[in-house]
Amino acid sequence: MRIPFVSPARCRIAILGFGTVGSAVARRLTDPHSPHALQLTHVVDRRAGEKSRMLPASSRVRWTTEIDEVLTADVDVVVETVGGVEPAANWVRSALVAGKSVVTANKQVVARHGAALLALAERQGRQLRFEAAVGGAMPIVRTVGDGLAGDRITRIAAILNGTTNAVLSRMEATGCPLDDAVADARARGYAEADPTLDLDGADAAAKLSVLCALAFGLRVDPDAIPTRSTATIVPADFDRARLTGGTIRQLAHAEFDYTASTLTAWVAPAVVPRGSVFSRTTGAQNAAVISGEYSGDITIAGAGAGGDATAVAILSDVLAIARDRAAIVPAPVLTSDFTLQTSDFRLAEAV
Amino acid sequence: MRIPFVSPARCRIAILGFGTVGSAVARRLTDPHSPHALQLTHVVDRRAGEKSRMLPASSRVRWTTEIDEVLTADVDVVVETVGGVEPAANWVRSALVAGKSVVTANKQVVARHGAALLALAERQGRQLRFEAAVGGAMPIVRTVGDGLAGDRITRIAAILNGTTNAVLSRMEATGCPLDDAVADARARGYAEADPTLDLDGADAAAKLSVLCALAFGLRVDPDAIPTRSTATIVPADFDRARLTGGTIRQLAHAEFDYTASTLTAWVAPAVVPRGSVFSRTTGAQNAAVISGEYSGDITIAGAGAGGDATAVAILSDVLAIARDRAAIVPAPVLTSDFTLQTSDFRLAEAV
């Protein structure tokens, strides 16, 4: 982290959830490179007792199992890394009501409650930031919501699930069946015990819903996005893809026709051409091609998973809040007045 | 442009310079898709008289040859697209002193006077934004300065000059001599009448200097960055590169050793491996690989030149200012306390 752009004002931070991501953030905040202004003061975890040994005693962090303790404490920013919709959404809401800014890595909370929570944050004069919810360290939330705000984005095609991508690129490289590739991903720490939400597309659909809000201003229920599971892909599918000069990746795709107010969105295993950015995306990497009416295609790629990479996105958000605690972040006004096209759902030969 | 994230507060805009970029910004601001809050009120150009016909009369823009008229007018944001160091730097300074926020596309001004101008902007409680100064529509300023602020960036390798890239990728594709490729780039509108600053590396060195400030917190004189000209590249160089499985691109490279406080930086034609993101970057595209200690490699690529693409970066900056006119943007504190290593300057075989 670079100190130059950090305001010297003290910023007290609480982390909710001490799993892979939460502990990576805690390690960064307690290491000597961390700007002095950023102080980790609280960790909330239901196994606070046994986990408290995982940080040096010198860090003087208060460990607790009670979110309420953070809500009433002198804390500026709450970092939510709990995952799942509840109680995480309720904790984010409570933190904003208590006057804290919030940084979350939780795509489900942002996809389902983001607009309401952002409106709450604006009313409270606080910030809700969520770069880590989509694309790990790849700063796609800023790119779509801020860096390309001056364009009219028409299309997003992306690899948004690192686990599934690690499985598919392993199958491609070794010819092994899906179960073996899943076991390999698990051994490398890329996959949970149950990777169903990854393979079936629900994880990528939640992230795509967040991107549709940022890119097109649309309120898209993640459950309404058609998905086709990657779990049924077999080695023979790769052989067929190879014959047409391609390979297979789980793609998340969204395209908005502004004239017809029609959104085409899906998550599915798709044949991607060899040499395309998607075929070259292997392991737990993520990649996205964002098409704008005026800027053409912008490509972005990087580590899509892992504690350290996700912690970069979280800490960048914390630094943005620390820089300007009184920043006004207007909540988006999303529209539901569009047609979600589901008939066109297919295994597209994406670029 | 998307209205959702724009504050409804009126934002009055003056454009300095009505060339390729300035006119593209003006067209966007006067087209029906532009958010009502953004109002183009002034254009300053030394040929204001004859150019004023290029915008519809209905746009009610005030054309003038006098910067002073803008300084005393009810204008919120000044967009500087004049280019060159002077008078542009002085105009940016005057606009900030007059209480305007400034958006500039001018890499020379940012590279040479950025730190002082950002400090002035902070004192004035105004903003100076410069996404368009590096990488065209590719949001690399935000990615390095904001999106990856939570990492320790160790290395940047990038194609930052669209003109030179168009020339080299044309030579690669057709086997033609450099002069023919320059003529072709000129015919396509990618090259100025005199592309010396592009080919010799001065343009990319200015952009690299800006990135070194953002990534490493270093004050790097762009003239101190070693450059080797691309103007001497001949078709036989491509043949040799091909034998080693590569091709030639003008690369800008910066690597900072935090322990030794040593910066290695250069701009030169370099052999890049086939299949790398750089070899796949053709025409006037730009690309960058940013390496962080915690996030690994982040790749970003997109249109590096052209009025419409550059206008996207400018308008995104204008929207960020319009969203929060009172935002506090602390100026960077850059250090000159480092060694710029020039002995290691070579035609590197970059990744």
Cα–Cα distance for residue pair B5/B26, rounded to 1 Å: 21
Q: What local confidence, expressed as pLDDT, does residue B346 receive?
A: 54
Q: Provide, as residue numbers in chain A, all residues whose Cβ is less than 8 Å from the Cβ of B292.
A: 137, 312
Nearest CA in chain B to A148: B316
DSSP H helices, A4-106, are: 20-29, 48-51, 67-71, 88-97
Q: How many CA atoms lie within 13 A of A143 on its CB side?
A: 34
Q: Are A127 and A154 in contact (CB under 8 A)?
A: no
> In Å, what is the CA distance from A50 to each residue of A64, A93, B26?
11, 28, 61
Lowest mean pLDDT among A143-157, B42-56, B310-324, B325-339: B325-339
CB contact under 8 A, A328 and B330: no
CB contact under 8 A, B298 and A302: yes
**Residue A346 pLDDT greater than 60, yes or no:** no
Lowest mean pLDDT among B8-12, B79-83, B228-232: B8-12
Cα–Cα distance for residue pair B134/B138, rounded to 1 Å: 8
Q: Which of A25, A40, A312, A335 to mutate to test the interface with B (most CBs of B within 10 A)?
A: A312
Q: Provide, as residue numbers in chain A, all residues whose Cβ is less than 8 Å from the Cβ of B309.
A: 294-296
pTM over 0.80? The answer is: yes
Six-digit token string for A230: 């990657």
**Residue B7 pLDDT greater than 60, yes or no:** no
Q: What is the pLDDT of residues A288-330, one digit of tens each?
A: 999 999 999 999 999 988 899 999 999 999 999 998 887 877 8
Positions of A annotated as catalytic residues are 207
CB contact under 8 A, B323 and A301: no
Does domain A140-304+335-341 bear CATH number 3.40.50.720?
no
Q: What CATH code is assigned to B140-305+335-341? A: 3.30.360.10
Enumerate the domain spans of chain B: 11-137+306-323, 140-305+335-341
Q: What is the pLDDT of residues A90-140, one digit of tens each?
A: 999 999 999 999 999 999 999 999 999 999 999 999 999 999 999 999 999
> In Å, what is the CA distance from A11 to each residue of A39, A94, A124?
6, 19, 18
- In the block, residue with structure tokens 């804290």: A100
**Three-class SS state of A296:** strand
Q: Provide, as residue numbers in chain B, all residues whose Cβ is less than 8 Å from the Cβ of A313.
A: 147, 150
Taking residues A282-293, what's their average pLDDT? 97
DSSP H helices, chain B, are: 20-29, 48-51, 67-71, 88-97, 107-124, 140-142, 162-174, 178-187, 196-199, 202-216, 235-243, 307-323
Six-digit token string for A344: 């066109």
Q: Are A83 and A106 in contact (CB under 8 A)?
A: yes
E strand spans, A259-316: 262-273, 285-292, 296-303
CA neighbor of A127 nearest in space, from A164, A85, A57, A78: A78
Q: Provide, as residue numbers in chain A, all residues whose Cβ is less than 8 Å from the Cβ of B147.
A: 131, 139, 142-143, 313, 316
Distance from CA of B301 to the nearest CA of A (A): 5
Pair type for strands A11-16 and A77-80: parallel
The answer to ipTM > 0.90 is: yes
Cα–Cα distance for residue pair A26/A303, rounded to 1 Å: 19
CB contact under 8 A, A149 and B333: no
Taking residues B37-64, what's their average pLDDT? 92
Backbone region of residue B42 per phi and psi (left: phi > 0; alpha: psi in -120 to 50; beta: other values): beta
Q: What is the pLDDT of residues A210-231, one digit of tens each?
A: 999 999 999 999 999 999 999 9
CB contact under 8 A, B330 and A5: yes
Element of type H or E holding A206: helix A202-216
Q: Which of B38, B128, B144, B148 to mutate to test the interface with A (most CBs of A within 10 A)?
A: B148
Superfamily of the domain at B11-137+306-323? NAD(P)-binding Rossmann-like Domain (3.40.50.720)
Q: What local confidence, expressed as pLDDT, does residue B3 receive?
A: 47
Q: What local confidence, expressed as pLDDT, does residue B324 receive?
A: 84
Q: Which of A3, A5, A34 to mutate to test the interface with B (most CBs of B within 10 A)?
A: A5
Q: Are B200 and B135 in contact (CB under 8 A)?
A: no
Burial class (CB in 10 A: 0-12, 13-18, 19+), A193: exposed
Higher pLDDT, B153 or A348: B153
Q: Are A174 and A317 in contact (CB under 8 A)?
A: no
